[in-house]
């Protein structure tokens, strides 16, 4: 797939296209979605007031609670007869967020997913093994249509059935594996139990998403499977996978397809926009969605934006790898921590496998945090030595001391074959 001109366009060209599409998106939302009309009226804003992308901050924000309150289709801007496909979030914390696509919306999704795979280094000659879940979850469908649009061959395995995943991978010579970062390590473990060397599997690239992935976790994936690890980002409320992706040339931040999705970073407490390079909550506005135009969606994901040049030649803004979620921040004895900070610290310790579990309790009216980590199969240190190192490293790096650290043997922390891995268990 040839690189599209917008991927290397100058900033003025990008902003002109963004402004044009933002104006149409706001008009569509205002005229066809009562929720947005009421929210804009409350702020005294009309579609005519939005002239440039700088005006985006005048618009109301949208939250996951808004999606749930408008369930199932209160945010749709088209009649059901114009909807060609529906997807939904998992709904683990309440009603799922229902999302809709017209024919034109599906074309946009195919386009950005094909762009993403091409940026990740996938070519028409590659076989992409898709181990994301199918069904209401957008991951499987998004990867499939992207690979097909790009012209690559596709193996639609779906999630789970790891023995079959390995069999097909080896027999057919898959070049690319698409899955969550935790599942790629699960697959490596399973291969070893079958007597296979994970580094000898035919795949050369793993495209991982749907979960945060710290640098130590990426390094573990790349080392164990002898692959290039590419982070891809998206969410159902905006389109699904394909909002942004790392390029294989640099692997240095995720290129946001900003002609289709306008990104901001805000202070999660005040809602005020933050300058480039400063970490905060990612906010996204769709610029091309017909069925479900979304204004300033608060993703909850913590990242920062960069506009510096990339070695690959693309000029699109890049977002740093998501370091956690604003609503996942742990507050323990007055200390603010993200699970990803704990992960990055402990997984970087020699002898610790890239698996961990955090348990939160209330004891004597105080918060308590217990950490379980897994001893690597080839670790030289004893369990006692590792526990001491974990305590010391957390204190030195994060000024944080857990109430307890338990080191379990290799395979001692429960894995998951399907869905997103759960790391934090809050018993409070």
- Judge whether residue 332 has pLDDT over 70: no
Choose one of 304, 326, 348: the last residue of a domain: 326
pLDDT tens for 170-183 read 999 999 999 999 89
Q: If we measure between CA atoms, which residue out of 231, 211, 240 comes closest to residue 110?
A: 240
pLDDT at 216 (0 to 100): 84
Sign of the C-alpha dihedral computed for residues 312, 144, 170 and 173 taken in this order: negative
Are residues 222 and 246 both part of a single domain? Answer: yes
Name every residue whose Cβ is closer than 8 Å to that of residue 134 and which is 6 or more positions away in sequence: 140, 141, 156, 158, 159
Are residues 138 and 113 in contact, defined by beta-carbon separation less than 8 angstroms? no
| Same domain flag for 242 and 164 | yes
| N-terminal to C-terminal alpha carbon distance within the chain | 51
Summarize the confidence of residues 294-318 as an average pLDDT. Answer: 96
Greater model confidence, 50 or 398: 50
Predicted local distance difference test score (pLDDT) of residue 423: 82
| Number of independent structural domains in the chain | 2
The whole-number average pLDDT for the span 346-361 is 88
Shared domain for 253 and 372, answered yes or no, is no
**Cα 112 from chain centre:** 15
Q: What is the pLDDT of residue 297?
A: 98
Q: Work out the number of other CB atoms within 10 angstroms of the CB of residue 54.
A: 10
Q: Is the pLDDT of residue 200 over 60?
A: yes
Tell me what the mean pLDDT of segment 309-313 comes to. Answer: 94
- Assess whether 54 and 165 both reside in one domain: yes
Q: Give the CATH number for residue 151.
A: 3.40.50.12780
Residues 146 and 292 in one domain: yes
- Indicate if 161 and 302 belong to the same structural domain: yes
In tens, the pLDDT along 250-278 reads 999 999 999 999 999 999 989 999 999 99
We report the CATH number of the domain holding residue 416 as 3.30.300.30
Query: Are 287 and 156 in a shared domain?
Result: yes
Residue 376: domain span: 329-426
Q: Looking at residue 327, what is its pLDDT? A: 67
pLDDT on residue 367: 72
Task: Give me the chain's average pLDDT, please.
Answer: 92
Q: Quick one: residue 92, left, alpha or beta (phi over 0 = left, psi -120 to 50 = alpha)?
A: alpha
Strand partners, 263: 284
Q: Which of the residue ranges 10-19, 223-232, 365-374, 395-404 would you say has the lowest mean pLDDT?
A: 365-374
Report the C-alpha gap between 174 and 176 in whole angstroms: 6
Q: Is 414 exposed, middle or buried (0-12, 13-18, 19+ CB in 10 A)?
A: exposed
Q: pTM for the complete prediction?
A: 0.84
- Indicate whether 111 and 190 sit together in one domain: yes
Asked if residue 384 has pLDDT above 70, the reply is yes
Whole-Å CA distances, 20 to 51, 200, 318, 344, 372: 8, 49, 22, 41, 51
249 plus 284 within the same structural domain: yes
The rounded percent of the chain whose pLDDT value lies above 90 is: 71
| C-alpha separations of 144 from 18, 109, 203, 379 in Å | 27, 11, 17, 39
pLDDT at 337: 78
Which of 294, 326, 358 lies at the terminal end of a domain, its last residue? Answer: 326
Residue 334 has pLDDT above 70, yes or no: no
Which residue, of 326, 344, 367, is where some domain finishes? 326
pLDDT digits (tens, 9 = 90+) for 232-250: 999 999 999 999 999 999 9
- Per-residue pLDDT at 1: 65
Q: Is the pLDDT confidence value at 93 over 70?
A: no
Query: Does residue 71 surpass a pLDDT of 60?
Result: yes
Phi, psi of 27 (to 5 degrees): -60, -45
Better-scored residue on pLDDT, 46 or 348: 46
pLDDT at 92: 56
Interval 312-338 mean pLDDT: 80
Distance CA 72, CA 90 (A): 14
Q: Please indicate, yes or no, whether residues 189 and 279 belong to a single structural domain of this protein.
A: yes
For position 424, what pLDDT does the model report? 84
* Buried/exposed code over 331-369 (b: 16+ C-beta within 10 A; e: otherwise): ebeeeebbbbbbbbbbbbbebbbbbbbbbbeeeeeebbb
The residue to which tokens 């990426």 are assigned: 218
86, 17: one domain: yes
CB atoms within 10 A of CB 106: 16
What 3-state class would DSSP assign to 312? coil
Q: Are residues 342 and 203 in the same domain?
A: no
């Amino acid at each position: 797939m040839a690189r599209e001109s917008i991927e290397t366009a100058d900033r003025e060209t990008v902003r002109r296209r963004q402004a044009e599409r933002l104006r149409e998106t706001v008009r569509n939302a205002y005229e066809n979605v009562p929720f947005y009309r009421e929210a804009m009226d409350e702020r005294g804003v009309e579609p005519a007031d939005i002239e440039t992308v700088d005006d985006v901050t005048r618009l109301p924000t949208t939250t996951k609670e808004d999606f749930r309150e408008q369930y199932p289709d209160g945010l749709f801007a088209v009649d059901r007869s114009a909807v060609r496909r529906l997807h939904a979030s998992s709904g683990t914390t309440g009603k799922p967020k229902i999302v809709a696509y017209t024919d034109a919306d599906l074309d946009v999704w195919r386009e950005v997913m094909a762009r993403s795979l091409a940026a990740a280094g996938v070519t028409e000659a590659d076989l992409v093994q898709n181990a994301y879940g199918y069904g209401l979850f957008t991951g499987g469908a998004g990867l499939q249509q992207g690979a097909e649009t790009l012209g690559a061959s596709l193996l639609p395995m779906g999630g789970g059935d790891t023995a079959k995943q390995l069999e097909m991978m080896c027999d057919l010579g898959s070049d690319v594996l698409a899955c969550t970062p935790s599942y790629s390590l699960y697959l490596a473990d399973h291969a070893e139990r079958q007597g296979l060397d994970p580094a000898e599997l035919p795949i050369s690239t793993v495209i991982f998403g749907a979960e945060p992935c710290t640098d130590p976790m990426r390094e573990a994936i790349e080392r164990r499977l002898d692959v290039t690890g590419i982070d891809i980002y998206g969410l159902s409320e905006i389109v699904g996978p394909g909002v942004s992706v790392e390029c294989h040339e640099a692997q240095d931040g995720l290129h946001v397809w900003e002609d289709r999705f306008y990104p901001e970073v805000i202070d999660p407490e005040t809602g005020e926009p933050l300058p480039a390079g400063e970490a905060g909550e990612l906010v996204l506005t769709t610029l091309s969605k017909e069925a479900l135009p979304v204004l300033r969606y608060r993703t909850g994901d913590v990242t920062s934006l960069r506009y510096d040049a990339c070695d690959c030649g693309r000029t699109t803004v890049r977002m740093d790898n998501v370091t956690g979620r604003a609503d996942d921040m742990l507050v323990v004895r007055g200390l603010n921590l993200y699970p990803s900070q704990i992960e990055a610290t402990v997984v970087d310790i020699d002898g610790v496998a890239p698996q961990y579990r955090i348990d939160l309790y209330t004891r004597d009216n105080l918060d308590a945090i217990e950490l379980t980590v897994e001893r690597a199969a080839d670790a030289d240190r004893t369990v006692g030595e590792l526990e001491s190192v974990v305590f010391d490293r957390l204190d030195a790096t994060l000024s944080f001391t857990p109430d307890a650290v338990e080191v379990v043997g290799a395979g001692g922390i429960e894995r998951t074959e399907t869905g997103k891995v759960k790391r934090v268990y809050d018993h409070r």
